[in-house]
Amino acid sequence: MGKKKIIGYLVLGVMLFVLAVSLQGCAGAEEDGQEGTNDYLTALDMETDISAIYTLEYQEDIEKQIEALKEENSYTLEDPLVIADPYGTNTTGLYVFFTSDTAAKASYTVSADGYEPFGEELYGDYTTEHEYLLIGMIPDTVNTITLTLQDEEGETAGTLELEYDAPSLAGSEENTQLEVKEGESGKELSDGLYTMLGNRTDEDNEETDFILLYDNYGTLRTEIPIKSYRACNILFGDDEIYFSASANELVAMDRLGRITEIYTLGDYQLHHDYIFGSREDFLVLATEEGKDTEEDRILSVDMESGEVTEIIDLADPFGDYLNTLDMEDGDEEPFDWIHINSIRLIDDDSIIISSRETSTIIKIEDIYTEPEVSYLIGSSQFWEESGYDDLVLEQEGEFSLNAGQHCVEYEESEELKEGQYYLYFYNNNNTVSSTRDYDYSEDEGYNGTYSGTDGVISYYDKYLVDEEAGTFALEERIPVTYSGYVSSVQQMGGNLLVDSGSAFTAVEFDQNFDEIQTLVGTGDTWWCRVFKYDYKGFWFN
C-alpha cells in the first residue's frame, strides 16, 4: 500500500501545495520489497479572492494549468496528481488524477481521529483514466484517505493511502461539528449529506456565505464558499449541479469543482428559490432593481444563452389587491406586498408558489404565455371582497390555516382521483402581514398562531387538494420547533426532514413521524433551508 503525506501552504495569496511523498510497498514496489521516496512540488497559480474565483476566466485558467500538468507526466495510482481545492469551491477537497492498466472503479474512505469514517464509491463506470474530487476531509486535522480500485471481476486492482493535513475552514470553525440528539424512533437514517443552505440573517449581505454538507453524525464533510447572499437550492443536472453564488448569479459546477457556467440576472436580484423550468430554463423568484415593489417577479433564464426574461410580474394578476394597500410615497424601502418564497413546477406551464405576506399558496397557469391565477389556498376572510374571493379553495374540516408558510412541495399519488394531489410545506404558524393592517386574531381561519420571531410551535403540514371539487383538506400535521421565518421540509423515501431554520434545528423523522435524530446548530445566523442529497450521479455512484 502506498502512503503519501500532503501539506498545503498559503504564501502571499498564492497556494503552493507541497506533496511530500513516502512510498512504502506501493503496488509493484510492494511485490519487489522495495522502498522509495519521491518528493515533488505541485504549484498552481491560484486565487484566494472569492470574487475572482467565481469568474470563468479564473476557472478556465486553473483547468489549463491542470491539463498542462496531466500532459507532463504519466500519473498512476502509485504516483497520482493530487491538488488541494484547485478551483476554490471546496475548502477541504482534493483533486486526484491517475491512470490504471486495467479498467476499474474507484472507492475511498476518510478516517480521522475522533470522527466516524466516511466513504463512498466514486462516480463513474469501469475506466483506465481516473479523475475525481474527493470530499469528506475534516478541517485542521490529519485525514487518512484510502483509495481502492476494483476491476470488472470484483477483484482489488490497487490501493493508495494519503495522509492529508486539511486546511482550516473559510467560515467559522464552529461549523465543523453539530450537536446530534438521538430520537426515540430507532429506525435508520436516510443516506446522504444534510445540506445547509443560507447562513446569514441579512438577505442583502455582501459577505461570503457557505453551502455546508454534513454526514449522519453531524460532521462537516465539505464547505462550498459562495460570493454573497445565500444558496437557496441545489439543482442536479446530468453532469453538473446548479446553485446561486450571489443574489445576482446562478452557477453550474462540475464534479471536479470547476465552475462551468455563470448566469447573471442583470437588473434583477434573486430571492428564496429557483427551479428547472420546462423549456431548458431556470424559473427564478426575483426582485427588479429600482422598482417600488420587491419579491414579486418570476424570471425565465435560458440555460444555453443565459437570456433573462421576466415572465410574471405579480402586480399584473394581483393588481386589484395591490391597489388596496397603502404604498407610502417617499418610502426608501421597496414595498414587500406579496413576498413569494417558493416555486414548484407541476406540469409544463403551471406553477405553485408560496406567498408569505398573504399566508397564501397560489397556483398560476400558462406561465410562459398568458399567466392566470388558477386558485388560492388561504383565508377566505383575508381575501373577502378583494375581487379574488371566487379563487379561494374551500377548506374541508376544522384546522388553523397555513400562516407565513415556506417550501411548498408538490406530490402526486396513483391512489388519488383525477384532479387530486398533495401539497406539503413548512407552516411557520406566523401571522404577520407588514404591508396590510389586518387583524388575524379576528380571522376565524386561525387559532394558536404567533406574530413574529417569538413562538412555540410551527408545523409540517400536508394538504390534499382537489381541483375538481375546489377544496383542500389537512391530511397530516406534525408540531415542530417554532421558526417564524425561513425553514424547509423534504420527503426522502419513507423519512421526512424538517428544518426549523431560525431555531437551528433539523429533524429527521421516520415514516410514522417518530423522531430519528435532530441536528442542532449555534450562532447568530440561521439555516434558511436544509435538504438531504445523496449526491449519487454527481460525486458518487
| pLDDT (average), residues 218-233 | 95
Per-residue confidence (pLDDT) for residue 36, from 0 to 100: 25
Query: 205: burial class by Cβ within 10 Å (0-12, 13-18, 19+)?
Result: middle
Per-residue confidence (pLDDT) for residue 48, from 0 to 100: 81
Torsion of CA 464, 465, 471, 475, to 10 degrees: 10
| pLDDT (average), residues 388-410 | 98
Cα 150 from Cα 153, distance rounded (Å): 8
Note whether 497 and 515 are within 8 A (CB).
no
State which amino acid sits at residue 17: F
State which amino acid sits at residue 302: D
Q: Kindly report the average pLDDT of the chain as a whole number.
A: 90
DSSP string, 448-493: S-B-SS--SEEEEEEEEEETTTTEEEEEEEEEEE--SS--EEEEET
The band of 205, judged by pLDDT with boundaries at 50, 70 and 90, is low
The residue ranges of DSSP E strands in 281-438, in sequence order, are 281-288, 297-302, 308-313, 340-347, 350-355, 360-365, 372-377, 394-396, 406-411, 420-427
| pLDDT (average), residues 173-191 | 96
Report whether pLDDT(202) > 90.
Answer: no
pLDDT tens-digit series, residues 292-332: 999 999 999 999 999 999 999 999 999 999 999 998 755 67
Per-residue confidence (pLDDT) for residue 405, from 0 to 100: 98
CA nearest neighbour of 250 among 239, 320, 266, 501: 266
Report whether pLDDT(475) > 80.
Answer: yes
pTM above 0.75, yes or no: yes
Q: Which residue has the higher pLDDT, 527 or 345?
A: 345
**Contacts of residue 306, Cβ cutoff 8 Å, sequence gap at least 6:** 261, 263, 264
DSSP string, 300-311: EEETTT--EEEE
Per-residue confidence (pLDDT) for residue 44, from 0 to 100: 76
pLDDT tens-digit series, residues 18-70: 333 322 223 333 333 323 222 222 657 777 899 999 999 999 999 999 999 99
Report whether pLDDT(362) > 60.
Answer: yes
| pLDDT (average), residues 207-221 | 95
Per-residue confidence (pLDDT) for residue 469, from 0 to 100: 98
Q: 514: how many CB neighbours lie within 10 A of its CB?
A: 12
Report whether pLDDT(87) > 70.
Answer: yes
| pLDDT (average), residues 417-428 | 98
Percent residues over pLDDT 90 in the chain: 85
Per-residue confidence (pLDDT) for residue 422, from 0 to 100: 98
Per-residue confidence (pLDDT) for residue 199, from 0 to 100: 65
Per-residue confidence (pLDDT) for residue 526, from 0 to 100: 79
Tell me the C-alpha to C-alpha distance, in Å, between residue 433 and each of 263, 314, 323, 438, 481. 33, 17, 16, 7, 22
Cα 498 from Cα 24, distance rounded (Å): 48
Cα 211 from Cα 196, distance rounded (Å): 6
Report whether pLDDT(9) > 80.
Answer: no
DSSP string, 40-61: EEEE------HHHHTSHHHHHH
| Partners of 41 in the β-ladder | 18
Per-residue confidence (pLDDT) for residue 332, from 0 to 100: 77
| pLDDT (average), residues 384-402 | 97
Report whether pLDDT(203) > 70.
Answer: no
Note whether 199 and 235 are within 8 A (CB).
no
